[in-house]
Amino acid sequence: MKRNGLYYERRKNYYKNQGRKREEIVTLSFLAQCMMSILLGRPDQARARPSTLLSDEAQYKKIFGQDGNLEAYYRAASLGKQVCLRFPQIKRDLEGSQISDIRFYVIMGVASILSKKDNLTFGDIEKLDLDKLSDEIIQEVADMVLDVYLALGGTSKTAKSYAMATKVKEKISLQLP
DSSP letters of 63-106? HH-SSS-HHHHHHHHHHHHHHHHHHHHH-TTS-HHHHHHHHHHH
Predicted local distance difference test score (pLDDT) of residue 36: 94
pLDDT digit string, tens, across residues 106-150: 999 999 999 999 999 999 999 999 999 999 999 999 999 999 999
pLDDT digit string, tens, across residues 5-46: 888 887 788 888 888 888 888 988 899 999 999 999 999 999
Kindly indicate the confidence band of residue 67, based on its pLDDT and cuts at 50, 70 and 90.
low
pTM value?
Answer: 0.92
In this predicted structure, the answer to whether residue 1 has a pLDDT above a threshold of 60 is no
